[in-house]
Structure 1
Amino acid sequence: MHILLLEDDTVLADILKDYLQEQYQVTHTYSMKEAMRLCDENRYDLYIFDINVPDGDGITLLKELRAFRDETPAIFITAFHDTKHLTEAFQSGGNDFIKKPFDLEELNVRIDNIKRHFGLDMQITLSDDTAFDPQTHTLNIAGALHKLSAKESECLHYLYKNRNRVVSSDELLQNLWAYDEIPSEDTIRTLIKQLRKHIGKEHIINIRGEGYRYE
Structure 2
Amino acid sequence: MTSFDCAADSFLGETVMNRDLPLAVTNPAKLMQAAVLLIEDDKRLGQIIAELLDDNYRVEWALDGHSAQKKMDETNYDAAIVDRHLPDMDGLDLVRGIRALGITTPMLMLTALSSTADIVEGLDGGANDYLTKPFRFEELDARLRTMLRGYRAQQHSYLIGDWIFFEAIETVENPAGERKRLTSSETALLKVMSDNPAHVFTRSELLRAAFRPDAGESTVDAYVSYIRQKTCKELILTVRGRGYILGHPEEGLV
Q: Distance in 2 between matches of 1:104 and 1:110?
A: 10
Aligned pairs, number: 159
1:78 aligns with 2:111: yes
Counterpart AA for 1:188: T
- Say which SS state the counterpart of residue 75 (structure 1) adopts: strand
Identify the structure with the greater strand proportion.
Answer: 1
Q: Distance in 2 between matches of 1:64 and 1:189?
A: 30
Partner of 1:92: 125
1:188 aligns with 2:179: no
Select the residue among 60, 64, 82 that pairs with 1:31. Answer: 64
Q: Distance in 2 between matches of 1:110 and 1:194?
A: 36
Within 5 Å, give how 1:103-114 maps onto structure 2: 103-114=136-147
* Sequence identity (%): 28
Deviations 1:128-162 (A, max 9, x none): xxxx3x2xx17xxxxxxxx8xx67x3351x48xxx
CA contact (8 A) 2:64 2:86 kept: yes
Q: Distance in 1 between matches of 2:173 and 2:113?
A: 34
Partner of 1:101: 134
Select the residue among 100, 104, 118 that pairs with 2:151. Answer: 118
CA contact (8 A) 1:2 1:26 kept: yes
Partner of 1:3: 36
**Bigger relative contact order (CA 8 A; separation at least 6):** 2
Identify the structure with the greater helix proportion.
Answer: 1
CA deviation after TM superposition for structure 1 residue 47, in Å:
0.4
- Say which SS state the counterpart of residue 114 (structure 2) adopts: coil
Q: Distance in 1 between matches of 2:127 and 2:191?
A: 31
Counterpart AA for 2:113: F
- Say which SS state the counterpart of residue 56 (structure 1) adopts: coil
Q: Distance in 2 between matches of 1:154 and 1:16?
A: 28
Deviations 1:58-116 (A, max 9, x none): 21111111111111111110000112221221122211111100000111111121222
Deviations 1:14-60 (A, max 9, x none): 11011111221111111100000010111111100001101002211
- Say which SS state the counterpart of residue 18 (structure 1) adopts: helix
1:41 aligns with 2:74: yes
Counterpart AA for 2:54: Q
CA contact (8 A) 1:2 1:45 kept: yes
CA contact (8 A) 2:76 2:179 kept: no
CA contact (8 A) 1:155 1:176 kept: no
RMSD between aligned alpha carbons? 3.4
Q: Report the TM-score when normalising by structure 2.
A: 0.53
Q: Distance in 2 between matches of 1:154 and 1:19?
A: 27
Counterpart AA for 1:92: G
Q: Distance in 2 between matches of 1:113 and 1:33?
A: 27
Gaps of 5+ in 1: 127-131, 139-146, 160-171, 199-215
Q: Distance in 1 between matches of 2:95 and 2:187?
A: 28
Counterpart AA for 1:50: D
Partner of 1:63: 96
CA deviation after TM superposition for structure 1 residue 188, in Å:
3.0
CA deviation after TM superposition for structure 1 residue 119, in Å:
4.2
Counterpart AA for 2:52: Y
